[in-house]
Amino acid sequence: MTSSSAPVVLITGSARRVGAAIARHLHVAGYDIAIHYRESGHDALALQSDLELDRPDSTLCMRADLAEIQRLPELVAGTVSRFGRLDALINNASSFYPTALGETSIAQWNDLFASNAQAPYFLAQAAAVQLRQQQGCIINLVDLYATQPLPGHPVYSMAKAALVMMTRSLARELAPQVRVNAIAPGAVLWPESGKPIAEQEAMIARTPLRRAGTALDIAKTALFLLRDAPFMTGQILRVDGGRSIGM
């Protein structure tokens, strides 16, 4: 595909980790990529440089704090201004940390809900007109803990549960023009703050496929939902090696 005819996807939090893997995989598949980041400017520009070497004029970098609701339409407008279209929105950006009951601050509540529920909703709202025009789709990155709460992380689990319901609700609201689905990863990348080796091994032992997943596992699922699943909407795909069978 040439840049002028390629489908365009906006991916939040796509400078690093799973978001970057999704961006790279979709770019190889012929998508033009709008890379969103908040603090990882160096990584975002490095990713853009790599993608531009493969296909010039196929990327855009945009910085925004997703907690600033008034900035969210700018991400959609910037993408459409650059490429002339928007075919897909992938809500990948997420805050994740523990919030002990009795010690949770309002700031923590607002931060966790802003990235995991509020921003995806208002980005979807801002993108709806363009996505309807392109018969496009939305993919939300949720979590197994949206339905099976993670001890010590009640606010995070609640925010991801809201994102699951958003997925199902918007699948109805935006049908039939726009499909809305979600991916619920299992153990793919360990938290950057670190996870004790014993806990990692115990989690893998509870996983039927007996391994951690990879960011590419998630990226391949995203491409499937974008390109090869025209009769799927309102679904939550658990890409977890079977771990949710026995959580």
Catalytically annotated residue among 37, 121, 145, 156? 156
What per-residue confidence (pLDDT) applies to 207?
A: 79
Count CA within 13 A, CB hemisphere, residue 193: 4
CB neighbour burial string for 108-128, b if at least 16 within 10 angstroms, e if fewer: beebbbbbbbbbbbbbbebbb
210 — pLDDT class (breaks 50, 70, 90):
confident
What per-residue confidence (pLDDT) applies to 59?
A: 98
CATH C-level class of 8-246: alpha beta
Is 96 in contact with 146 (CB distance < 8 Å)? Answer: no
What per-residue confidence (pLDDT) applies to 18?
A: 96
102 — pLDDT class (breaks 50, 70, 90):
very high
Instruction: Tell me what the mean pLDDT of segment 226-232 comes to.
Output: 98
What per-residue confidence (pLDDT) applies to 217?
A: 96
Contacts of 89 (CB under 8 A, 6+ apart): 9, 10, 76, 123, 124, 127, 131, 136, 137, 138, 139
Instruction: Give kind and range of the element (H or E) at residue 21.
Output: helix 17-28
195 — pLDDT class (breaks 50, 70, 90):
low
Q: Is 229 helix (H, G, I), strand (E, B) or coil?
A: coil
Q: Rounded to whole angstroms, what are the CA distances from 58 to 1, 15, 34, 46, 244? A: 10, 15, 9, 14, 37
Is 63 in contact with 48 (CB distance < 8 Å)? Answer: no
Res. 113: pLDDT tops 70: yes
How far is 109 from 155, CA to CA, in rounded Å?
6
How far is 104 from 155, CA to CA, in rounded Å?
8
User: Comparing 200 with 92, which gets the higher pLDDT?
Assistant: 92
Distance of CA 172 to the CA centre of its chain: 20
Distance of CA 36 to the CA centre of its chain: 11
CB neighbour burial string for 57-90, b if at least 16 within 10 angstroms, e if fewer: ebbbbbebebbeeeebeebbebbbebbebbbbbb
Distance of CA 105 to the CA centre of its chain: 25
How far is 220 from 152, CA to CA, in rounded Å?
31
- 86-100, 122-136, 179-193: least confident range: 179-193
What per-residue confidence (pLDDT) applies to 188?
A: 79
Res. 201: pLDDT tops 80: no
Residue 145 designated active-site: no
What per-residue confidence (pLDDT) applies to 95?
A: 95
247 — pLDDT class (breaks 50, 70, 90):
low
Domain extents in the chain: 8-246
Is 95 in contact with 112 (CB distance < 8 Å)? Answer: yes
Q: Rounded to whole angstroms, what are the CA distances from 223 to 59, 65, 73, 156? A: 17, 26, 24, 26
What per-residue confidence (pLDDT) applies to 202?
A: 75
Res. 2: pLDDT tops 50: no
Res. 235: pLDDT tops 90: yes
% of the chain beyond a pLDDT of 70 = 92
Mean of the per-residue pLDDT values of the chain: 93
What per-residue confidence (pLDDT) applies to 12?
A: 98
How far is 118 from 200, CA to CA, in rounded Å?
31
